[in-house]
């Protein structure tokens, strides 16, 4: 059979060369630069009080934002796929707004809205809920910029689910909750995990939208990317690369765990399908 694309050897060689230039080479340079530190020096930089606080803020806020978007992103995707309503195309296009909007513009806009004298902040602060210039503001910014990853990942999967499946479940006496949990969720779950992973990955590396709303107070609302930039501005390149290596290791471990869970969920779903057949 004549193949449209080149053979396996050429394709694999091109793929490895392309990934090496774009990913492996920069990461190798990062690790090589950090290796200029001794193990004790690296540990001192990576586990300093300010660094540990920045890790907690960065990964905690990113995880919380990804979890929020996993829930509300599913709701948004389901509504956009299953229900016709006036202005649906406008709402669908608004989902992609964080993709098109420069992150700095998003940060300034959110800070303006949620500040003490902002349109939203002026109503929240009397209730004791301060958003701007707090860790909560970081969660808001990260939720905003990572929502499209969940919605756009789920939409094609939901579109592939025939409405007749829900009707059949209802005919057999299943409630709406039982239909969702036992019939719909198993097919959606792998895509939901993928969207969650993409949202989390995007949030961990976010910088532009966060610095305007976070307040950037060390030990309180300082994210790791900002701490890395601060070290670079102080010409502490080795210290910045050490922090970057820690972020790389933690991010890789978390993504590996999520991808493993996704692989398990997909295999479990396919196994159930084979049994039912």
Quick check: is 4 in a domain? no
Residue 28 lies in a domain: no
pLDDT digits (tens, 9 = 90+) for 197-213: 889 989 998 998 999 99
What is the Cα–Cα distance from 162 to 187, expressed in whole angstroms?
12
Q: Is residue 259 part of a domain?
A: yes
pLDDT digits (tens, 9 = 90+) for 42-95: 999 999 999 999 999 999 999 999 999 999 999 999 999 988 889 899 999 999
Q: Is the pLDDT of residue 109 over 60?
A: yes
Confidence at residue 272, expressed as pLDDT on a 0 to 100 scale: 59
Closest CA to 61 of 129, 121, 144: 144
- State the pLDDT at residue 67: 96
Could you tell me the CA-to-CA distances from 117 to 57, 113, 121, 138 in Å, in that order? 25, 8, 6, 18
pLDDT tens digits for range 120-163? 999 998 888 899 999 999 999 999 999 999 999 999 999 888 87
pLDDT at 273: 56
Whether residue 232 is contained in a domain is answered as yes
In a domain, 16, yes or no: no
pLDDT of 152 reads 94
- Domain assignment present for residue 1? The answer is no
Distance CA 13, CA 18 (A): 8
Decide if 199 contacts 69 (C-beta within 8 A): yes
CATH label of the domain that carries residue 260: 1.10.3720.10
pLDDT at residue 29, as a whole number: 85
Could you tell me if residue 5 is inside a domain?
A: no
Query: Is the pLDDT score of 277 beyond 60?
Result: no
Spatial neighbors of 130 by CB under 8 A, at least 6 apart, are 116, 121, 124, 136
Assigned domain for 30 exists: no
Number of domains in the chain: 1
Domain hosting residue 71, numbered range: 38-276
Instruction: Say what the pLDDT of residue 199 is.
Output: 93
Q: Are 124 and 130 in contact (CB under 8 A)?
A: yes
């Amino acid at each position: 059979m004549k193949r449209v694309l080149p053979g396996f050897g050429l394709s694999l060689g091109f793929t490895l060369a392309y990934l090496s230039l774009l990913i492996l080479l920069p990461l190798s340079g990062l690790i090589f630069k950090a290796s200029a530190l001794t193990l004790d020096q690296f540990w001192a930089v990576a586990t300093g009080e300010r660094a540990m606080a920045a890790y907690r803020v960065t990964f905690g806020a990113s995880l919380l934002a990804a979890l929020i978007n996993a829930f509300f992103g599913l709701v948004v995707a389901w509504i956009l796929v299953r229900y016709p309503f006036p202005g649906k195309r406008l709402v669908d296009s608004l989902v992609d707004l964080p993709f098109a909007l420069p992150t700095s513009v998003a940060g300034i806009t959110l800070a303006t809205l949620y500040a003490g004298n902002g349109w939203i902040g002026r109503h929240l602060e009397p209730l004791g809920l301060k958003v701007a210039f707090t860790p909560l503001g970081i969660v808001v910014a990260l939720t905003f910029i990572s929502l499209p990853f969940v919605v756009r990942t789920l939409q094609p999967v939901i579109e592939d689910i025939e409405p007749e499946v829900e009707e059949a479940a209802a005919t057999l006496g299943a409630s709406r909750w039982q239909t969702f949990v036992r019939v719909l969720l198993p097919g959606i779950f792998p895509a939901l995990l993928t969207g969650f992973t993409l949202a989390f990955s995007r949030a961990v590396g976010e910088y532009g939208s966060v610095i305007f709303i976070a307040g950037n107070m060390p030990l309180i609302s300082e994210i790791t990317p900002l701490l890395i930039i601060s070290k670079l501005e102080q010409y502490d390149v080795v210290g910045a690369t050490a922090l970057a290596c820690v972020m790389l290791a933690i991010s890789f471990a978390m993504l590996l765990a999520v991808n493993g869970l996704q692989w398990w969920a997909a295999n479990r779903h396919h196994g159930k399908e084979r049994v039912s057949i």
